[in-house]
Amino acid sequence: MKINNPLIKYENKWVALDEKQEKVLLSATTLSVLQRKILKQKKRNLVVTKVIPFDISLAPNVLTQN
């Protein structure tokens, strides 16, 4: 079964989402390019994140010292 993911076209890119994190407002291949777009369009109150590839997963790693 294939799941339809609205972020698939932003895979491996930086995105700026609205405050409610429901809509992608801007995207770019690098964070610096995205920052320039945000400043140019005078956008505020955005959530900026990287959309990681969907064929990998991230898990936290806790290191402890004895």
d(CA 34, CA 2): 30
The tens place of each residue's pLDDT in the chain, 66 residues long, gives 566 788 889 999 999 999 999 999 999 999 999 999 999 999 899 999 999 988 887 777 777 776
**Radius of gyration over alpha carbons of the chain, in Å?**
15
pTM given for the model: 0.77
